[in-house]
């Protein structure tokens, strides 16, 4: 292996830059040429690729987003697009590729692996929904952003004796909502993985706590639940008599300077990815297992399923009455 490339794909996540930095620095230290690919698989298809130096990654560890930019790339879902990407790699002498992204990006990496380009996936997504890994880069920062934002909402909702209905990210996964909900002391947490009943799990709980003197409420819902979240505020107001306001935290959750934890995780995962490629090991996904950095076969990793902890869900409810 002489030349490796790195790209970021899918939704950006704070800490991706720490991973890029580790990949570039450790790759060069091992005598490899390291290429940066802009805008995910788009850059591979269209040759938007440049050689990175030790100084290309100076002062980026503290920056949110990704200096390589990111994209969702429909063209790469086609056989033709994939072939173009492989041709680019061949033309530039790229022998191995690190893909920093989520589940979808890893499916793309798997295709390249199948077609003969050794790839290593590094989990970067605020959703924490990569099945083989206990943690993903960006999750900790997003959690802390959610806590900061909801604390602010709590201040105003407490002052007005209101209920704050808050939508957080998580298209298919409720980790941000569940753990964010625990961290802010939400009365109810609604997530895609566990069915809920608005009357029983929200309204009746609010009524019960109203009887013990509670006057302000925080309800946290993941965007991926089946029911529309905004109209819930009106229903809650009608049923409980508590004035309710809806807030969607939106993309603010994806930005910001990464926490120390995400900087360290990004650095460790990026470093591990290069260790693999430098030893001619490809087709792997880097992960955290029992708190340690490990790697799995990419095909097996994509077959794994991650379940939400029912115990954590129960805890969230048991301590918020
Ligand atoms: P994430 O990586 O955050 O889950 P997406 O699901 O949007 O984000 O996937 C990012 C990109 O990965 C897609 O735009 C596409 O280019 C590529 N990709 C996703 N799924 C596949 C697939 N099954 N085959 C090939 N490429 C894929
Ligand atoms: O996968 C990360 C994520 O932030 C999800 O939580 C969210 O559903 C999605 O990306 C939003 O994507 P976009 O930035 O394209 O709107």
Q: Is residue 11 located within the same domain as residue 103?
A: yes
Residue nearest (by alpha carbon) to ligand 2 atom 2: 11
Task: Let me know whether 163 and 262 are in one domain.
Answer: no
Instruction: Average the pLDDT over 49-69 and give the result.
Output: 98
Average pLDDT over every residue of 125-137: 97
Residue nearest to atom 15 of ligand 2 (CA): 11
Judge if 118 and 146 occupy the same domain. no
What whole-number percentage of the chain has pLDDT above 70?
Answer: 100
pLDDT of 76: 98
Q: Which residues are catalytic?
A: 127
**pLDDT confidence of residue 1:** 92
Please state the rounded mean pLDDT for residues 135-145.
Answer: 98
How much is the pLDDT for 278?
98
pTM: 0.97
The 10s digit of each residue's pLDDT in 285-307 is 999 999 999 999 999 999 999 99
Residue 274: band (very low, low, confident or very high) from pLDDT cuts 50, 70, 90:
very high
Residue 220 is assigned to a structural domain of this protein: yes
Percentage of residues in the chain with pLDDT exceeding 90?
Answer: 99
pLDDT per position as a tens digit, 227-263: 999 999 999 999 999 999 999 999 999 999 999 999 9
CA 254 / ligand 2 centre spacing (Å): 8
On whether both 282 and 223 belong to a single domain, the answer is no
**204 and 57 in one domain?**
no
Question: Residue 212 has what DSSP assignment?
Answer: T
Q: Looking at residue 24, which CATH number applies to its domain?
A: 3.40.50.450
Assigned token pair, 97: 């590729």
Determine the average pLDDT of the residues in 112-129.
97
Residues 229 and 280 in one domain: no
The 33-37 sheet, strands edge to edge: 49-51, 33-37, 3-8, 96-101, 119-123, 284-289, 292-297
Say what the pLDDT of residue 302 is: 96
Query: Given pLDDT bands bounded at 50, 70 and 90, which one contains residue 126?
Result: very high
The pLDDT value recorded for residue 316 is 95
User: Taking Cα atoms as reference points, which of 60, 2, 9 lies closest to residue 35?
Assistant: 2
Nearest-ligand number for the alpha carbon of 192: 2
Domain of 201, in residue numbers = 142-254
Task: Quote the pLDDT of residue 99.
Answer: 98
Closest CA to 265 of 80, 137, 169, 79: 137
The domain total for the chain is: 2
Which pLDDT belongs to residue 315?
96
**Mean per-residue pLDDT, 203-230:** 96
Ligand 2 atom at minimum distance from 126 CA = 2
pLDDT value at residue 255: 98
Q: 2, exposed or middle or buried, with CB in 10 Å at 0-12, 13-18, 19+?
A: exposed
**Which residue's CA is the closest to the ligand 2 atom numbered 10?**
11
For all residues of the chain together, what is the average pLDDT? 97
Residue 280 pLDDT = 96
Residues with CB under 6 A from ligand 2: 11, 102, 125-127, 169-171, 223, 254
Distance between the two ends of the chain, CA-based, in angstroms?
58
pLDDT of residue 286: 98
Please give the Cα distance from 135 to 321 (Å, whole number): 29
Domain boundary, last residue among 194, 228, 254:
254
What is the 171 CA–ligand 2 centroid distance (Å)? 7
Is 308 inside any structural domain?
no
Residue 131 lies in a domain: yes
pLDDT in tens, 191-212: 999 999 999 999 999 999 999 9
The pLDDT assigned to 254 comes to 98
């Amino acid at each position: 292996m002489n030349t490796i490339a790195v790209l970021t794909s899918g939704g950006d996540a704070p800490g991706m830059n720490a991973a890029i930095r580790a990949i570039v620095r450790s790759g060069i230290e091992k005598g490899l040429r390291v290429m940066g690919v802009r805008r995910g698989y788009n850059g591979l298809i269209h040759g938007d690729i440049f050689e990175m130096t030790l100084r290309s990654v100076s002062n980026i560890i503290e920056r949110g987003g990704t200096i390589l930019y990111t994209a969702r790339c429909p063209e790469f879902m086609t056989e033709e697009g994939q072939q173009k990407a492989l041709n680019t790699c061949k033309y530039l002498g790229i022998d191995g590729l690190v893909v920093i992204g989520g589940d979808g990006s890893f499916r793309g990496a798997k295709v390249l692996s199948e077609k003969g380009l050794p790839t290593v996936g590094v989990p970067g997504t605020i959703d924490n929904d990569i099945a083989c890994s206990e943690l993903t880069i960006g999750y900790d920062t997003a959690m802390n952003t959610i806590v900061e934002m909801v604390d602010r909402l709590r201040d105003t909702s407490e002052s007005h004796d209101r209920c704050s209905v808050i939508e957080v990210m998580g298209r298919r996964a409720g980790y941000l909502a569940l753990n964010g909900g625990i961290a802010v002391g939400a009365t109810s947490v609604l997530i895609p993985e566990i069915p809920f009943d608005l009357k029983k799990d929200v309204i009746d709980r609010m009524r019960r706590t109203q009887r013990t003197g509670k006057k302000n409420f925080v309800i946290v819902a993941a965007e991926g639940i089946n029911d529309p979240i905004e109209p819930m505020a009106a229903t809650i107001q009608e049923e409980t008599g508590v004035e309710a306001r809806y807030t969607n935290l939106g993309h603010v959750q994806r930005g910001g300077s990464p926490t120390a934890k995400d900087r360290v995780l990004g650095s460790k995962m990026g470093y591990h990815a290069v260790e693999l490629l430098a030893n001619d090991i490809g087709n792997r996904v880097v992960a955290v297992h029992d708190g340690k950095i490990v790697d799995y076969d990419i095909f097996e990793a994509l077959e794994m399923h991650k379940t939400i902890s029912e115990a954590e869900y129960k805890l969230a409810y048991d301590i918020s009455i």
